[in-house]
Amino acid sequence: MKKIAIVGAGSMAEAIISGILENNLIDRKNVWVTNHANQERLAKLEVRYGINQTYDLNLLFDQADIVMLAMKPKDAATAVAGIHEFLTEQMLIVSVLAGVSMDTIETLARKPLSIARSMPNTSAAVGKSATAIAVNTRVSKEQLEITKKLFNTVGLAKFVKEDQLDAVTGLSGSGPAYIYYLIEAMENSADAIGLDKPIAKELIVQTLIGAAEMVKNSSKTARQLRQEVTSPGGTTEAGIRILEEFSVQEAFISCIKAAATQSKKMGTALCSELQVGKHI
């Protein structure tokens, strides 16, 4: 990788910049970023990471082999219209635009492109994202490897088909919020049974980390692990019984299905809106 040009300077762009530099994937002198008009934000990123920021598009895209689209999805039409003449078929276009299909990006750019469309989550900020990536047929084996390396700097990266990205959004894209919701419930219950909040928070966090590591490192399923700690007549069984009475597992399944359905609905609407309003 020679140079990456990042269009958009929000939290996800910053997380990826941080991951790239911490893993020495690209030299900081070859990391360039721009946005629509927030000069103050660009200056902060320049100072914080020692990267380059510019509004000179000739400078931004000169010798760039990776272009990351990281603006707000609703601004994609305007943004891509402003840079389409600088995009080439040789570049790898990496999109973190939620809901914007690869076909839509090509339509906005008015040319065929090598595109990797990703669905990271907010845990990228701490290098623990679960990222799904879909690529089009123009992406080469080398570009495929580059894409994997890029998103491995902010966590786990897996390749899927593009039509699976809505399911990924419902599962891992929105997933951190479901876990925060669970933590919130555990914190409220800890307060109700008389535990101090600071101690309860540490216990809850470590419990979740430990359980996740068990699932990650064990050959057993989550169901098997749960059954192993659920002794007949014991405390865990008493708790699980309440969860089953309230159909908590069914609620989580419905939750993830609803999020995936909403992702597909929003993505279809957004792509239609962007293509109708494209600048030609």
Considering its fold, how many domains does the chain have in total? 2
Mean pLDDT of all residues belonging to the chain: 96
Do both 98 and 212 map to the same domain?
no
Indicate whether 52 belongs to any domain.
yes
Do both 152 and 234 map to the same domain?
no
- DSSP summary character for residue 82: H
- Give residue 37's domain range: 4-165
Do both 102 and 218 map to the same domain?
no
Indicate whether 258 belongs to any domain.
no
Do both 160 and 46 map to the same domain?
yes
Do both 50 and 97 map to the same domain?
yes
Do both 239 and 159 map to the same domain?
no
Indicate whether 12 belongs to any domain.
yes
Rounding to the nearest 10 degrees, give the CA dihedral for residues 32, 33, 34, 40.
-120
Task: State pLDDT tens for residues 75-94.
Answer: 999 999 999 999 999 999 99
Domain holding 150: CATH number?
3.40.50.720
Task: State pLDDT tens for residues 5-26.
Answer: 999 999 999 999 999 999 999 9
Do both 63 and 184 map to the same domain?
no
Contact indicator for 155, 128 with CB cutoff of 8 Å: yes
Q: What is the pLDDT of residue 57?
A: 97
Whether the model clears a pTM of 0.75, i.e. scores above it, the answer is yes
Indicate whether 252 belongs to any domain.
no
Distance in angstroms (rounded) separating the CA atoms of residues 221 and 248: 19
Rounding to the nearest 10 degrees, give the CA dihedral for residues 165, 266, 10, 255.
-70
Do both 17 and 68 map to the same domain?
yes
